[in-house]
Structure 1
Amino acid sequence: MSRTAGREPRRLTRWWRRRSLRTRLTVIAATAIAVSVFMAFQVASELLDWQLRDTAENQLRADSRLLATNAERAGLAQVPLPPYPGSGPLVRVILPDGSTRTAAGQPALPPVSEPAGRVAQGGSTDLMESNDSDEDGYLIYTLRAGDGAVQVARVVDDSPVNQFGFGMLLIGLFCVVGGALVGRTVARTGLAPIDRLTVAAERVAQTRDLDADIPDEGGGEIRRLIRSINDMLAALRDSRQAQRLLAEDAAHELKTPLTSLRLNVELLIRLDRRGNLDSALPVESRTRLLNDLGAQVTELSTLAAELTDLARGDVSDENTELLDLADVVVAAATRARSRVPDIEIALDLTSVWVSGRPAALQRAVLNLIDNAGKWSPTDQPVQIRLRAEDASAVLEVDDAGPGIDAVDVPRVFDRFYRADSARALPGSGLGLSIVQRVVDAHDGRATVARSARGGALLRVDLPAATPPAPIARRVAGEDSGVR
């Protein structure tokens, strides 16, 4: 039984959720009007019943006082009681011995109640009673008079209240039907912009035309919704355009190494088929060709990895954590030395804490070191400095190379951009763009300038964070040193 009772609300909820918004608004409007009419009917009925009863009681008191005055003058046994005319109040006199006198021809009243008898015996002065036990209910007022009491009664007539209730019921039905129609009309009018918005959105989904902005109409929430969708379409357009540019740039960058790789491989295959590979290519030439092939494969692998990382659209799936940026720089420098053993790196690091993603920041620092390593002479180290400056962590990567021309500075962090002087060097032109994206994701800033040694000075500013409490206390008692 309890399971069945529990299923009914869920079924009703599922049914309600399957209804359209227009139907919901119609039902809500009709229900609200029905509840309002019902409450108004209840209040009005109570007020009408109270008013009719109060009027009847006041009339009974007035008639009783008149009869009591006559009874005191003529006596309870001799006071005249006119014959009952067929309607109006009913009268009765209670004599001292407990017997009663009634007007001729009037309907019989209920027996004298015990409280009314006490009024006749002098226990109280008056009493208002309501008797609904018989077929016809009576409202009886008992008033002390002489040595007995007089009673005036009226039949309780509920017909005015019933007629009023029936009229209210008809009015309520009309109001509910009218409310449903009005609610339907209001819902149709109010939801018309949403209907047009739905049609426009479906058209965009079918045609894949992201350039078709939805007309800005309506007001309030509707206008905000339309503007939000148009902003979303604009973001999708920008994203698709960025993807198209990325694909075009990637195809352009891949064309040169793939062509060189294909020509070299075809040369080896052709010579091998002729059987004169050893005679046509001396050992030195063959070694140089194989080294060239290895370098091209490495370049393609690096380019593919950077394209994958760049096309993901986010910095990383890893969570943000509180970390010491000096540890990240040391880890990146270690990786750079393992990849390029000839590179010399000089570290001048101060412990500075930031809130960030360790792997993404390490990738950015590694790209900065790789870029500096390509330009710095073999006898000059790549200098890496980390310090706290105001509320920022400042990382500087300094090389002793030829520096960056002024015309190339604005485009250093663009994807696939390579200066004319760098086209003969290995690289894809994506390293610094990845640095820029990581820095932006950490609310930082990346800039480029000329170093004191004449080379390039790449600087990254990141918001500094407060170190954990135990570390902060330890650092406060120590001098920050070189790592």
Structure 2
Amino acid sequence: MIAATAIAVSVFVAFQVASELMDRKLRDTAENQLRADALVLATNAERAGPAQVELPPYPGSGRLVRVILSDGSTRTPAGQPALPPVSEHAGRVAQGASTDLLESTDWDDGYIVYTLRAGDGAVQVAHLADDSPINQFGFGMLLIGLFCVAGGALVGRAVARTALAPIDRLTAAAVRVAHTQDLDADIPDEGGGEIRRLIQSINDMLAALRDSRRSQRLLAEDAAHELKTPLTSLRLNIELLIRLDRRGTLDSALPAESRTRLLNDLGAQVAELSTLAAELTDLARGDINDESTEVLDLADVAVAAATRARSRVPDIEIALDLTSVWVSGRPAALQRAVLNLIDNAGKWSPADQPVQVRLRTEGASAVLEVDDAGPGIDAADMPRVFDRFYRAGSARALPGSGLGLSIVQRVVDAHGGRAAVARSARGGALLRVDLPAAAPPAPIARLAAGEDTAVR
């Protein structure tokens, strides 16, 4: 439709311009012919006199001639149709008031009349204003225009269908994926330019959806595996208590000390399930990016995380060696990551050895280190420390879900940093996090310019 409309407009404009040019050309030609015929007749009239000049015979159509005498009377060839009365302006030409005059008649035949002074009178030559060439030209342009419009519409449709064919196939493929939920079928890369980039973008989106579905499936499988053991133990202990209570032998079969130990086990298992459920929720929601980013002092985050760790495990001892370092990040996510690092170190560090938390600046990075004096991590386990649900063989007897360090890795990745594990100088594990440092807010930067770095 656009192509046909554009061609129709183009043909119409061309017709208007060409018609105007042709009309002017034909009119100029007719006027020049009138002047030439009138000049010949006027020359003869001046030689023989207007009353005696021999008038050319009427040809039957087309040109008309007339002689105007000084007294206002006229002469015309025999058999020639009558011309309209001499106009006032033409009479003035015959009386010598003017040399010539070109005028058009208002009567039906539409003649162009040229009056030229000749002796003591004037001669007039009239030509029929013939519009047939313009009409024929217009009819021809109309036929050409209709043909071009129809051809343009067909060509435009063919070009549009060819260009949009990949879009049709892309739409069909998208509908098929939506109905079948099959994310493994890539859309063929065809077409060019914007269409190819669109198809590539959709294929990239499908690949991302496949990765997301795979990650969800793995998370569900790992969660089911990790939940099986504490749920089984919890169910067995509760069934034991119910069976003994129904028999009425609860007090005799379970002494107070055993009953207390069993209840403590139940409480520990419930706490373990609660921790696992909370960590699974964090991983499944993936809401790290939902928290707003701000420029903050990582030392304040570490202090808040250490405070929470002490409230959760009162016996844990934490030694802080913190330098004020500013980063651009999400406060709650960073605090959760530091808390997980401290909790992990607290499980392994002996009661008489504190967990050491250090924060400093190295180049353009903020470096946070958490180490303990425990047995350390075997070299074979180091590559998998940050994997979901991974727990070293020596850690399976300790409480935990195996998700804490994977959450740390996710938070660090979201902040453009890097997490690593090594052996500390005290023989335990050294967990290190590098984050991009940021410039402090302007008022704090001016205040810190004249102060020494603080150690907390």
Contact 2:289/2:414 (<8 A) preserved: no
1:482 equivalenced with 2:452 (yes/no): no
1:395 aligned to 346, 368, 374, which one? Answer: 368
1:268 aligns with 2:222: no
In structure 2, the residue corresponding to 1:191 is in which secondary structure? helix
Q: How does 1:354-369 map to 2 (within 5 A)?
A: 354-369=327-342
- 2:22 alignment partner, one of 45, 48, 57: 48
Q: Check if 1:83 corresponds to 2:57.
A: yes
Whole-Å separation in 2 of the counterparts to 1:119 and 1:469: 97
Q: TM-score, normalised by structure 1?
A: 0.85
* 1:58-457 paired onto structure 2 within 5 Å: 58-95=32-69, 101-109=75-83, 126-131=100-105, 133-146=106-119, 149-457=122-430
Structure 2 vs 1, CA of residues 117 and 343 (structure 1 numbering), >3 Å: closer, same or farther? farther
Instruction: Give the SS at the match of 2:290.
Output: coil
Q: Distance in 2 between matches of 1:147 and 1:347?
A: 129
Please report how far the alpha carbon of residue 343 of structure 1 lies from its aligned counterpart in structure 2 after TM superposition.
1.8
Distance 1:394 1:111, change over 3 A: farther
The CA deviation string for residues 138-190 of structure 1, in whole angstroms up to 9 with x for no partner, is: 33344455566544332222222122222222232233333333333333333
**Residues 143/418 of structure 1: CA separation in 2 closer, same or farther (3 Å cut):** farther
Which entry has the higher C-alpha Rg, 1 or 2? Answer: 2
TM-score for the superposition, normalised by structure 2: 0.90
Relative to 1, partners in 2 of residues 1:68 and 1:370: Cα closer, same or farther, differing over 3 Å?
farther
Letter paired with 1:480:
T
Cα 1:286/1:316, change in 2 over 3 Å: farther
Moved more, 297-306 or 197-206: 197-206
Distance 2:92 2:338 in 1: 106
1:140 maps to a residue whose letter is V
1:471 and 2:451 equivalent? no
8 Å Cα contact 1:82-1:104 kept in structure 2:
no
Higher mean alpha-carbon deviation, 252-261 vs 30-39, is at 30-39
| Paired residue type of 2:4 | A
Aligned residues: 456
Q: Distance in 1 between matches of 2:95 and 2:397?
A: 129
Corresponding residue SS for 1:457: strand
TM-aligned CA distance change 1:170 to 1:338, over 3 Å? same
Distance in 2 between residues matched to 1:215 and 1:36, nearest whole Å: 39
Of residues 400-409 and 95-104 in structure 1, the stretch that sits farther from structure 2 once superposed is 95-104
Q: Secondary structure at the match of 1:315?
A: helix
Secondary structure of the residue aligned to 1:57 is helix
Deviation at 1:102, TM superposition (A): 4.4
Contact 1:121 1:148 survives alignment (8 Å): yes
* 1:316–1:360 contact (8 Å) kept in structure 2: no
Distance 2:87 2:425 in 1: 118
Cα contact 1:375–1:401 (8 A) shared by 2: yes
Displacement of 1:327 after TM fit?
2.4
Give the RMSD, CA atoms, in angstroms: 2.6
SS of 1:395's equivalent in the other structure is strand
Measure, in 2, the Cα distance between the counterparts of 1:112 and 1:480.
115
By how many angstroms is 1:298 displaced?
0.8
Cα drift, residue 264 of structure 1: 1.1
Note if contact 1:393-1:463 (Cα within 8 Å) is conserved in structure 2. Answer: yes
Q: Sort the Cα spacing of 1:97 and 1:443 in 2 relative to 1 into closer, same or farther, 3 A.
A: farther
Q: 1:341 to 1:161 in 2, by over 3 A?
A: same
Deviation at 1:114, TM superposition (A): 5.8
Could you tell me which runs of 5 or more consecutive residues in structure 1 were left unpaired when the two chains were aligned. 1-26
The answer to whether the 8 A contact 1:216-1:227 is kept is: yes
Q: Deviations over 1:16-66 (max 9, x none)?
A: xxxxxxxxxxx2233223223222322222232222222222222322333
Cα contact 2:365–2:434 (8 A) shared by 1: yes
Q: Which residue of 2 aligns with 1:30?
A: 4
Change in Cα spacing, 1:372 to 1:153, as seen in structure 2 (3 Å) is farther
In the superposition, relative to structure 1, how do residues 93 and 213 fare at CA in structure 2: closer, same or farther (>3 Å)? same
